[in-house]
Structure 1
């Protein structure tokens, strides 16, 4: 098993043309989905500017909790049914998820300085690319530490929900507590991003020879990477997005 892990994760495999094609395809799907997220965020953001009451409908604790449940359920259900799903069904999930996240991200398109949003976006792109490259090239098996990153990020989400009812614990309002929590969450999502990239390499070798399954895994992986990117962007906005 250890030899297998070294073979799949190690740098020698970087020359595998099939793997590179699979990863590039995954990032292309992610880029297209990100375009959907940005378009929906802009459109909903314009609607919020025209009718500010929409902000209270989209951004409230009940919607946040329900949205979290929808995301967890959606990824779990599609992940379990992926082998039997059609490629069209997986793409419907990917772009439907992207549009859903666009609604949730619409505040950044309506309430924040566009220059700051752009700066944080490119900061996220740079960080995400570096972490993906690390996950792609490292020989260290990130499974050994991912449970701690997952636990830390789950704690961040729980604190985020609590902060909606207890402002002193808000992860969005700044202050020492909010800064510490967001820095810890940023470290956690950084590890998760690298681990997801590493996992995609394993998926490629597990599905090689099954083109249909490989394509579906690529699109589903793009959704996971998009979620990681959005979480990273949100945390960086919490840390550096205030004017």
Structure 2
């Protein structure tokens, strides 16, 4: 009996350690994600501020009454560089992130994430030229509330969400193809359909990624590889960051008020 009690006590202690470690791990995930979001917001706001001027001297592109693109704005938004800025974050995710996760230290992976967040901010800066600051803020708050609820569901639900992960990723591929096609068609109706489907897909991915981050930690916590766990936290932060930003951008198509 004494031996059985010792085994139970050890198991309880181990479970408590995993729970404490999981909380710390999730705090790092959300903290890293929040840091990336702040960098993205500041980069987008700063670049948009540098891209627009009220001085028509030397400006060749007018946005609206009293506002013109600066030289930087013209380069970013009216030359082929805009395609580089638009697709650079996607190229990094597809071709750079995996290699960085395999070969880089935790510090290098975190730096890579923050650089990616800054580039994403440059890519998103044009929303400040199109939508009112109020509608951007309103959409961000709605996205934050929805994200919190979805992530909480993914963390607490007993339902296994792994099955829908593959389905949702296939949906993302289809969404990318549709968006590329619509770059040439410029169909407003198609864009609204893409946005509606996009919100649903990334809402599902938010719950899926949260559960996957939790399960990954629990499965590997006993191994004691702290460097790997640190990198896994940053990788999880990136997944949730991408889900949040995509939900925000697709919701902005519905809620955003244009200047």
TM-score class, shorter: 0.7 to 0.9
Change (3 A) 1:45 1:85: same
The one of 14, 18, 21 equivalent to 1:18 is: 21
State the match for 2:197 in structure 1: 184
* Higher RCO by CA contacts (8 Å cutoff, separation 6 or greater): 1
Q: Does 1:200 align with 2:209?
A: no
In structure 2, distance between residues paired with 1:94 and 1:66: 13
Give the length in aligned residue pairs. Answer: 222
Secondary structure at the residue paired with 2:52?
helix
State the match for 2:43 in structure 1: 40
> Is the 2:85–2:122 contact (alpha carbons within 8 Å) kept by the matching residues of 1?
no
State the match for 1:69 in structure 2: 91
Secondary structure at the residue paired with 1:124?
helix
Change (3 A) 1:124 1:186: same
Q: Over the residues paired in the alignment, what is the CA RMSD in angstroms? A: 2.2
Q: Deviations over 1:7-53 (max 9, x none)?
A: xxxxx99x922211210111011111111111111111112213141
Secondary structure at the residue paired with 2:168?
helix
Q: Deviations over 1:101-158 (max 9, x none)?
A: 1111101233320000000000110111111001101111111112221112221111
Q: Does 1:158 align with 2:177?
A: yes
> Is the 2:37–2:241 contact (alpha carbons within 8 Å) kept by the matching residues of 1?
yes
The one of 150, 156, 163 equivalent to 1:131 is: 150
5+ residue gaps in structure 2? Answer: 1-14, 54-69
Change (3 A) 1:222 1:25: same
Q: Tell me how far 1:56 sits from its aligned partner.
A: 2.0
> Is the 1:46–1:110 contact (alpha carbons within 8 Å) kept by the matching residues of 2?
no
Q: Tell me how far 1:201 sits from its aligned partner.
A: 0.7
State the match for 2:249 in structure 1: 234
5+ residue gaps in structure 1? Answer: 1-11
Secondary structure at the residue paired with 1:238?
helix
Change (3 A) 1:233 1:130: same
Larger radius of gyration: 2
State the match for 2:109 in structure 1: 90
Q: Tell me how far 1:229 sits from its aligned partner.
A: 0.9
